[in-house]
Amino acid sequence: MEFTVAQDGSGDFPSVQKCVDAIPADFEGPVGIFIRKGRYKEKLDIVKPFVTLIGENAKETILTYDDCAGKRMPDGKKMGTFRSYSTRITGEGFRAENITFENAAGQKGRVGQALAAYVDADKVCFRNCRFLGFQDTLFTGPPPQDAGDLEWMKKEEIRRNGRNRQLYDNCYLEGDVDFIFGSATAVFRKCEIFSKNRDKKVNGYITAASTPESRQYGYVFMDCQLTGDAGPQSVYLGRPWRKYAKVAFLDCQMGSHIIGEGWNNWRDREKEKTVSYVEYNSSGPGAKRQKRVSWSRCLTSEEASKYQLENIFPENNSWYI
């Protein structure tokens, strides 16, 4: 089943959500949706499995919305972090290529958290995609069972202990505070990770992982470029949202914006005992191993060799090839 979305009426549907909604509820896929160039301002929910979105051009096919945590809902309550998404993906086997996912709420004032993409699904693959935002740009799924702030969601929508494997290949991700966060086992391969300036002593944190204790791998960055317009020594590689956070940087080039210490304990020294923050073969001005916090470490070459896709994503590999 294949469709074309075009704002000018030349396709099957003028909007992405209308196209997704037209997929029969009992259809098990795959479904291909080609999206022509345009700025599609839609708050998207993609719950059906095996949907593939292919944009005409990554920089000119833009899925965007402007909700944010500080926005007031009709009942007067603030929207909060997890309702602020522009695109939410909960359907297994989702794929996207050549698309920009954006939250356009901005940075100033009381915007706060504003998700460009909320991804809580297994076997998800993004290729040549862009994720644009500031705080909390990319959410990769809820933390383990203590996620009380997600009680507003239906229980069946929360994959608290299930599989949640994601691949980001040749993508661009930008933000400032905790802009890649959540519980997924996610690989970022040959991506550019851009840290935005906030004009503060600490401009931000790239990751805020909440890896479940039972999972061997959390976030794995392979051959990535860490860039940004944030000032020198002002951005941490990450801080732990939950105490078993796992993050690895392998063969990554790190700009001068990366703080020498590398990692932050989020004001909780107990987490230093349980996190797994590791690097291998980091390079660039931000890769000063001698300054790193004592509770992070450098992998041996033997340990680093185990960080292969077939080990991180065992069993069926057809979903990411």
pLDDT digits (tens, 9 = 90+) for 170-182: 999 999 999 999 9
pLDDT band for 150, please (50, 70, 90 cuts). low
Convert the pLDDT of each residue in 94-117 to its tens digit.
999 999 999 999 987 778 999 999
Q: Which residue of the set 75, 178, 229, 268 is catalytic?
A: 178
Please give the structure tokens belonging to residue 140. Answer: 């990769």
Please give the structure tokens belonging to residue 15. Answer: 């909007």
> For this structure, is 136 an active site residue?
yes
pLDDT band for 149, please (50, 70, 90 cuts). low
pLDDT at 15 (0 to 100): 97
Overall size of the chain counted in residues: 321
291 Cβ contact partners less than 8 Å away, ≥ 6 residues apart: 260, 261, 262
- Edge-first strand order for the sheet with 246-250 is 2-5, 31-35, 51-55, 95-97, 124-127, 165-169, 185-189, 219-222, 246-250, 276-280, 297-298
On the question of pLDDT at 153 being above 80, the answer is: no
CA dist list (Å): 193 to 3, 27, 172: 32, 36, 6
Q: What is the rounded radius of gyration, in angstroms, for the C-alpha atoms of the chain?
A: 19
Report the distance separating Cα 262 and Cα 164, nearest Å: 26
Please give the structure tokens belonging to residue 201. Answer: 């002593």
Average pLDDT over residues 44-72: 96
Convert the pLDDT of each residue in 202-237 to its tens digit.
999 999 999 999 999 999 999 999 999 999 999 999
Q: Which residue of the set 67, 120, 122, 136 is catalytic?
A: 136
Please name the residue that has the structure tokens 């099957």.
12
Classified as helix, coil or strand, 89 is strand
On the question of pLDDT at 152 being above 80, the answer is: no
Report the distance separating Cα 298 and Cα 156, nearest Å: 39
Report the distance separating Cα 152 and Cα 203, nearest Å: 31
154 Cβ contact partners less than 8 Å away, ≥ 6 residues apart: none
Domains along the chain with CATH numbers = 1-104+112-119 (2.160.20.10), 145-321 (2.160.20.10)
Q: Are 121 and 139 in contact (CB under 8 A)?
A: no
pLDDT at 321 (0 to 100): 81
Output the DSSP codes for 270-306: GGGGT-EEEEES-BSTT--GGGS-TTSEEPPHHHHTT
pLDDT band for 162, please (50, 70, 90 cuts). low
% of the chain residues with pLDDT over 70 = 94
274 Cβ contact partners less than 8 Å away, ≥ 6 residues apart: 243, 244
Convert the pLDDT of each residue in 248-288 to its tens digit.
999 999 999 999 999 999 999 999 999 999 999 999 999 98
pLDDT at 161 (0 to 100): 46
Average pLDDT over residues 150-169: 66
With b for 16 or more beta-carbon neighbours within 10 A and e for fewer, the 215-233 pattern comes to: bebbbbbbebbbbbebbeb
